[in-house]
Structure 1
Amino acid sequence: MIIIGCDFHPSFQQIAMFDTETEATEEHKLTHASGEAENFYRKLTAPAIVGIETVGNDQWLVQLLQKLGHEVWVGDAAQIRASYVRKQKTDRRDAKPILQLLIEGRFPRIWIPDAGVRDHRQLLMHRHKLVQIRTRVKNELQHLMLNQGMQKKHKLWSTEGRAALASLPLEPWTD
């Protein structure tokens, strides 16, 4: 089995890799834009355990690794940092402590939602934004009516209210 500690950055990732059968370790710096990272994970013969710190823009990597059949463990960044003996941060050294935590069974794993839950959340957020837009538009239309001396409240959305709104002589800035 292959265990990989991954320090993720927006443009690259530093990885430390351990093969449990041969006990060999390797280190690589993989760039994202060139497709090097994707090619590396595709070439792994057996499913690997990949441990990464939780960061904001890693969703594409998590989805790619899951699609390729690798097991992704996302860890609490604060707890991972607290486990470092050496506090100096360098990209080359960051992958090693993650790998060490994975090997020792001390990796501070957090729950991540599966694809179905992520999709459901995205749909809810999208719907929420659409409702906010609708509310803003309706409030602006109410404001236009009030500036014309008409207060319709919820009746503005009836057939008569919409007809009254459409017949308003509006200022040029409202076009």
Structure 2
Amino acid sequence: MLLIGGPKQFGRKEPSMIVIGCDYHPSWQQVCWMETTTGETGEQKLEHASGEAERFYRRLPTPALIGMESTGNCQWFVDLVGALDHQLWIGDAAKIRATDVRQQKHDRRDAALILKLLLEGRFPRIWVPSGEEKDLRQLLIHRYKLVRIRAQVKNELQHLAMNQGGDPEAEVVEQSGRKGAPRATAAGVGEPAARRPVQVKRDVGRADCPTRSSRGGVC
């Protein structure tokens, strides 16, 4: 195990805190920890599917500071740590790796390295958006895609109107006396051609509805 500095090197902290270096993998994690008051240390491999990792963090007597490299497929772990009022710091993986002179990955040593950086105040922490910010970003991406679809469908509708000699800004299809029965605006247009503008208009409506909903409207 790497040589770990004493708790005084960590800087300002609670009177008693458990600091944990976590080498996270999708199905398990290797942890290395120190209790800052007593200097007691330990390490353990925790499986995820069996619930071993969750039980470990729930048993911690005081709120812990946990450090781990930036990685994917860990949202459940982020939520768990937050629900238990522990602090989770995400670090720049490349910068963490650069501090290891041996440059060879080893799960136990990687967890100890993260702990060492936390205790020495050298952990390269990066900003991570909150759950609400992530949801908002996904909503904006979804709305952007809907707006693009809406624009493409409307362009096709205008093209159909121009192809039939009509006004691209006007309605391409009018409704006849029978509800839902379309008729073409140009003479000689067959039934399939008459149905196509109607389908395009329906596509526009489908794109309009979620777009309005994403702005807080009611579809």
Is the pair's TM-score, using the shorter chain for normalization, greater than 0.5? Answer: yes
Question: Counterpart in 1 of 2:172?
Answer: 161
Give the one of 143, 164, 173 matched to 1:150: 164
Q: Higher helix share goes to which structure?
A: 1
Q: CA RMSD in A?
A: 2.6
Secondary structure class of the residue paired with 1:110: coil
Q: Which residue of 1 aligns with 2:113?
A: 97
Q: What is the rounded CA distance, in whole Å, between the counterparts of 2:24 and 2:110 in structure 1? A: 9
Identity over aligned residues, as a percent? Answer: 54
Deviations 1:113-132 (A, max 9, x none): 22332222122122223223
Structure 1 stretches lacking a partner, 5+ long: none
1:126 paired residue among 142, 152, 159: 142
The whole-number CA distance in structure 2 between the counterparts of 1:11 and 1:5 is: 17
What are the residue-to-residue correspondences of 1:15-54 with 2, within 5 Å?
15-54=31-70
Cα separation, 1, equivalents of 2:34 and 2:139: 39
Deviation at 1:151, TM superposition (A): 6.3
Contact 2:90–2:126 (CA<8 Å) still a contact in 1? yes
- Give runs of aligned pairs for residues 76-87 of structure 1, distance below 5 A: 76-87=92-103
Structure 1 CA distance, aligned partners of 2:93 and 2:167? Answer: 50
Residue 132 (structure 2) pairs with residue 116 (structure 1): yes
**Structure 2 contact 157–172 (Cα < 8 Å) conserved:** no
Matched residues in 1 for 2:98 and 2:166: separation? 60
| Cα separation, 1, equivalents of 2:121 and 2:145 | 42
Q: 1:9 aligns with which of 25, 48, 72?
A: 25
Q: Distance in 1 between matches of 2:27 and 2:85?
A: 23
From the superposition, tell whether residues 162 and 31 of structure 1 become closer, same or farther in structure 2 (CA, over 3 Å).
Answer: farther
Q: Secondary structure at the match of 1:26?
A: strand
Cα drift, residue 163 of structure 1:
3.3
- SS of the aligned residue for 1:17 comes to strand
1:59 to 75, 82, 89: 75
Pick closer, same or farther for the CA change 1:141–1:82 going to 2, 3 Å: same
Matched, 1:170 2:186: no
CA gap 1:33/1:163 in 2 versus in 1, 3 angstroms: farther
Aligned residues: 167
Which 4+ runs in 1 deviate beyond 4 A? 139-143, 151-154
Task: Give unpaired runs (5+ residues) of structure 2.
Answer: 1-16, 176-181, 185-190, 200-219
Partner SS, residue 38 of structure 1: helix
Higher-Rg structure is: 2
Letter of the 1:67 partner, please give it: A
- Please tell me whether residue 107 in structure 1 is matched to residue 123 in structure 2: yes
Is 1:135 aligned to 2:151, yes or no?
Answer: yes
1:31, CA displacement in angstroms? Answer: 1.8
SS state at 2:102 partner: coil
CA distance in 2, matches of 1:129, 1:99: 42
In 2: Cα distance, 1:50 partner to 1:23 partner: 16
